[in-house]
Amino acid sequence: MSRRVVVERPGRFRVVQGERPAPGPGEALVKVAAAGLCGSDRELYDGARPAGFAGYPVTPGHEWSGTVEAVGPGADPDLVGAKVVGEGYRGCGRCPYCRNGAPNLCSGGYDETGFTRAGAFADHLLIPARLLHVLPEGADLRAAALLEPAAVMAAATRLAALRPGETAAVVGAGTLGMLALQYLAAASPSRLVAVDPRTERAGPALAAGATAVHPPGEAAEGAFDVVVETAGATGTAHAAVALARRGGRVVLTGIPADPADAVPTTLLVTRALSLHTVFGAGPADWAYAVRAFGSGVLRPAALITHELPLDDYERALKLSASPDAGKVLLRPDPQEI
């Protein structure tokens, strides 16, 4: 048998039990080891996702890890038994964006595991085998559940292209910010500053590689070669641009709730800044994150603060919004890891 969380409509869910699903052509059946919660999962439950970016009823869960139990016709049989993570975007594979390695921008429309397709808040997940990334044999599957946000931050830090000896700042010290700090620290910056109003985030940020942690308004403006914004809060995009030096690079990853929240165009132009944005991650970003994880550059296990059974989905959802929580995991079978 196999259980799954089903959000029937905003604010209403149930845990459903049924037969273990069988993989179809080109599919893999993954036994879920761990699945993480993030702000977009809360948006899904609250009904706050933008139009077209959710489909109800749906099983959430886009951050996950697990072990392949079976594959369908046409999928590589050697995948059975492998520890894996998987891309979420179900691109058409035919449009120019997909052909260029960006299924997250597919012109066929938005389609993603955990939002429009059944996700990993379940005992089992069906997924196209082509989307899987195989982990090293001894990989920690708890930590690997964070490789989806790590892939997004891989996209951001690859665009930032930090060079050794440059200075960098990360705005926001949540899960995304901590992962960005780990990537940037590996590039040997001369200074790496985290900016966050929560004093309790200072210790984890320093452990992730920051050389200093400042509340908003205290980091020197116009002082950083690279700035990565990860918070998506009101004013954080503006703050990120203000921190960048002349000729610097800024990468925005957060989506503020207020659509009127704007970046300062005057600073962009007068400082000749390069501004990049990130929406999700493509296959190359996933490959980058998996390599960083396998080599030890990326250390996501330290970001996990809570692990709950699948039936505690509602409690996990509330915990994930707590200022004291880091990454919250659902563990369908706690004995599996």
Give the mean model confidence (pLDDT) for residues 89-98. Answer: 96
Taking the C-alpha atoms of residue 268 and residue 282, their distance in angstroms, rounded to an integer, is 27
**d(C-alpha 48, C-alpha 63), whole Å:** 19
The pTM of the full predicted model, rounded to 2 decimals, is 0.95
Strands 191-195 and 167-171: parallel
Residue type, 331: R
* pLDDT, tens only, 143-200: 999 999 999 999 999 999 999 999 999 999 999 999 999 999 999 999 999 999 999 9
In angstroms, what is the C-alpha Rg of the chain? Answer: 20
For the residues of 268-297, what is the DSSP string, one character each?
HHHTT-EEEE--S--HHHHHHHHHHHHHTS
Tell me the pLDDT of the chain averaged across its residues: 96
256-298 tens-digit pLDDT: 877 777 899 999 999 999 999 999 999 999 999 999 999 999 9
Distance from C-alpha of 259 to C-alpha of 284, rounded to nearest angstrom: 30
Question: Residue 10 has what pLDDT?
Answer: 97
Residue 336 has pLDDT above 70, yes or no: no
250 contacts 274 by C-beta, under 8 angstroms = yes
Interval 23-47: pLDDT, tens: 999 999 999 999 999 999 999 999 9
Q: What is the pLDDT, as a whole number, of residue 255?
A: 86
Would the pLDDT of 93 be above 90? yes
Q: How far is the C-alpha of 323 from the C-alpha of 71, rounded, in Å?
A: 40
The pLDDT tens digits for 209-267 are 999 999 999 999 999 999 999 999 999 999 999 999 999 999 999 988 777 778 999 99
